[in-house]
């Protein structure tokens, strides 16, 4: 986004908190706008708010956030130096017809498209050097439906505004995987931490990243 419709990130946030651009506004408790360091070099993008985030109004604030923090710490990163946000800012839910219990659901494409407006504003104001995308669904939104996390995870790709973008595993996916395939989950966790280390190294020494790409 070359231009913003607002005069500050705080103005963007305040307006987003009243957003009714898509039907998800009707089922949310809190809008979960991005949070973190406004001067961050790294902007991390997840799919959407969890049930806990919907109550706190903060991204990755529940158990998913604890797992993410652990992976970041093992890679030498801290979310205090990142801007953390999501593809869609309001919780997407449906009522399970079998149990009659409200549960999370994937967002509809129309909801994702509507909320891109806010992500583009965050990109404009944070001006990150690199993007990290968590999970295959979020990566498909950023890179197109042909993106395959199983094949392209951990590779530097070109994101919006020609920003370097790297997609990696969703930590909660690895936790679920651990319940039925522990070796695969352990391998996946190592790859997740390795990916995040790549990100740290890229922002710490961007010239070495570009020279290694040129020689590749």
Task: Using the structure block, give the residue that is written with the tokens 């790859």.
Answer: 191
| Residue 94, H or E segment | strand 93-95
Residues binding ligand SF4: number (CB under 6 A): 15
Cβ proximity to ligand SF4: between 23 and 76 the closer is 23
Could you tell me which of 6, 72, 4, 67 has the C-alpha nearest to residue 37? Answer: 72
Among 16, 43, 45, 71, binds ligand SF4 (CB under 6 A): 16
In the complex, the smallest distance separating the C-beta of residue 130 from ligand SF4, rounded to whole angstroms, is 24
**Pairing mode of beta strands 130-134, 42-46:** parallel
Q: Which stretch binds ligand SF4 (CB under 6 A): 78-86, 113-121, 155-163, 202-210?
A: 113-121
In the complex, the smallest distance separating the C-beta of residue 132 from ligand SF4, rounded to whole angstroms, is 21
Please answer whether residues 84 and 49 qualify as being in contact, where contact means their C-beta atoms are separated by less than 8 angstroms: no
Site string for ligand SF4, 140-159 (x = CB under 6 A): --------------------
Measured over the CA atoms of residue 139, residue 134, residue 32 and residue 62, the dihedral's sign is: positive
Among 47, 86, 111, 122, binds ligand SF4 (CB under 6 A): 111
Question: What is the C-alpha radius of gyration for the chain, rounded to an integer number of angstroms?
Answer: 17
**Residue 114 touching ligand SF4 (CB under 6 A):** yes
CA dist 17 and 99 (Å) reads 31
Please answer whether residues 59 and 84 qualify as being in contact, where contact means their C-beta atoms are separated by less than 8 angstroms: yes
Site string for ligand SF4, 21-50 (x = CB under 6 A): xx-xx-----x-------------------
- Residues lying near ligand SF4 in the complex (CB under 6 A): 16, 19-22, 24-25, 31, 88-90, 111, 114-115, 118
């Amino acid at each position: 986004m070359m231009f913003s419709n607002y005069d500050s990130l705080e103005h963007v946030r305040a307006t987003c908190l009243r957003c009714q651009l898509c039907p998800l506004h009707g089922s949310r408790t809190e809008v979960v706008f991005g949070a973190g360091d406004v001067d961050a070099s790294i902007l991390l993008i997840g799919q959407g708010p969890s049930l806990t985030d919907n109550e706190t109004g903060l991204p990755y604030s529940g158990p998913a956030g604890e797992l993410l923090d652990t992976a970041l710490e093992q890679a030498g990163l801290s979310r205090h130096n990142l801007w953390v946000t999501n593809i869609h800012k309001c919780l997407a839910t449906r009522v399970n017809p079998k149990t009659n219990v409200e549960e999370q659901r994937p967002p509809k494409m129309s909801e994702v498209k509507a909320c891109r407006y806010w992500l583009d504003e965050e990109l404009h104001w944070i001006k990150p050097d690199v993007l990290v995308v968590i999970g295959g669904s979020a990566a498909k939104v950023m890179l197109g439906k042909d993106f395959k996390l199983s094949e392209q995870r951990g590779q530097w790709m070109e994101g919006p505004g020609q920003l370097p973008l790297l997609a990696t595993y969703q930590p909660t996916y690895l936790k679920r995987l651990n319940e039925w395939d522990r070796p695969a989950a352990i391998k996946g966790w190592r790859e997740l931490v390795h990916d995040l280390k790549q990100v740290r190294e890229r922002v710490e020494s961007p010239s070495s990243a570009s020279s290694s790409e040129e020689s590749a």
